[in-house]
């Protein structure tokens, strides 16, 4: 399956997928990386892996709608079977979500529906939960609200700050995302209301 990954930051989730995609048995191949930030580390990772990398920066467009359309076109060029948001820190509007409906997934560093939004790790820590985790879900028109594909729990340790907790989550998150991208690519994904079924067997 042809996979396009959207990043905004360091791209450690992208790096994990790139490490897996060299194995033909994985079933997914990253064919393009798109970022909203020209200095995103994920773009350099892509280039070093020989994968096309494109920046579509909001500041280059007259408004959000024009930017959304440009992101959608940049992704379309790669003819993706699956679009993966891996640390992409902007909201993609209905124009984008609609064009890649049912084949766009996102990873979020909390156990949704708890702690959605841009500060999930900070909010979980502030709330005082003893267990948090990460979620891979289908992207729908909301923010972190789409049907859940996979989750994994991660303990909060005494003395954690946002950085130490996020790093522990990211270790689990990278493994969960790599496994989920591979399964969706090899087995396909069916969305039945709030449930997501991977593979032919329900």
Q: Which residues have a catalytic role annotated?
A: 108
Q: Which two three-digit tokens encode residue 170? A: 């990211």
Q: Which is nearer to ligand GRF, 99 or 108 (CB)?
A: 108
Binding mask 29-58 for ligand GRF (x = CB under 6 A): ------------------------------
The answer to whether 168 contacts ligand GRF (rule: CB under 6 A) is no
Q: Which is nearer to ligand GRF, 5 or 189 (CB)?
A: 5
Residues numbered 169-198 forming contacts with ligand GRF, rule: CB under 6 A: 170, 173
Least distance between ligand GRF and beta carbon 9 (Å): 3
Q: Which is nearer to ligand GRF, 116 or 188 (CB)?
A: 116
The answer to whether 87 contacts ligand GRF (rule: CB under 6 A) is yes
What is the largest distance, in Å, between two alpha-carbon atoms of the chain? 47
Q: Which two three-digit tokens encode residue 151? A: 């989750």
* Spatial distance between the Cα atoms of 122 and 95, rounded to a whole number of angstroms: 30
Residues numbered 98-117 forming contacts with ligand GRF, rule: CB under 6 A: 107-109
Q: Which region, judged by CB under 6 A, interacts with ligand GRF, from 2-10, 141-149, 155-163, 181-189?
A: 2-10
* Exposed/middle/buried for residue 193 (C-beta within 10 Å: 0-12, 13-18, 19+): exposed
Q: Which residues contact 104 (CB under 8 A, 6 or more apart)?
A: 82, 83, 84, 85, 92, 97, 138, 139
Least distance between ligand GRF and beta carbon 10 (Å): 4
Least distance between ligand GRF and beta carbon 192 (Å): 25
* Spatial distance between the Cα atoms of 96 and 4, rounded to a whole number of angstroms: 13
Residue in the shown chain whose Cβ atom is closest to ligand GRF: 87
Beta bridge partner(s), residue 2: 29
Say if residue 29 carries a ligand binding annotation.
Answer: no
* Spatial distance between the Cα atoms of 115 and 113, rounded to a whole number of angstroms: 6
In eight-state DSSP terms, residue 60 is G
* Spatial distance between the Cα atoms of 120 and 111, rounded to a whole number of angstroms: 9
With tokens 């979020």, the residue in question is 108
Q: Which is nearer to ligand GRF, 9 or 27 (CB)?
A: 9
Residues numbered 8-27 forming contacts with ligand GRF, rule: CB under 6 A: 9-13
The binding site comprises: 11-13, 64, 89-92, 106
């Amino acid at each position: 399956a042809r996979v396009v990954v959207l990043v905004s930051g360091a791209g450690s989730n992208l790096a994990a997928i790139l490490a897996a995609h060299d194995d033909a048995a994985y079933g997914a191949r990253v064919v393009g990386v798109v970022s909203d930030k020209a200095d995103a580390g994920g773009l350099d990772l892509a280039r070093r892996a020989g994968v096309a990398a494109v920046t579509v920066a909001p500041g280059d467009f007259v408004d959000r709608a024009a930017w959304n359309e440009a992101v959608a076109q940049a992704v379309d060029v790669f003819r993706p079977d699956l679009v993966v948001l891996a640390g992409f820190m902007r909201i993609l509007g209905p124009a984008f979500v609609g064009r890649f409906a049912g084949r766009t997934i996102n990873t979020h560093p909390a156990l949704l529906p708890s702690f959605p939004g841009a500060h999930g790790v900070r909010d979980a820590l502030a709330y005082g939960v003893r267990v948090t985790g990460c979620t891979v879900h289908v992207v729908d028109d909301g923010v972190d609200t789409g049907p859940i594909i996979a989750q994994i729990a991660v303990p909060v340790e005494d003395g954690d700050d946002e950085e130490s907790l996020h790093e522990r989550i990211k270790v689990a998150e990278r493994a969960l995302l790599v496994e989920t991208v591979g399964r969706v690519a090899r087995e396909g994904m069916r969305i039945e209301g709030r449930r997501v079924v991977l593979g032919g067997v329900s």
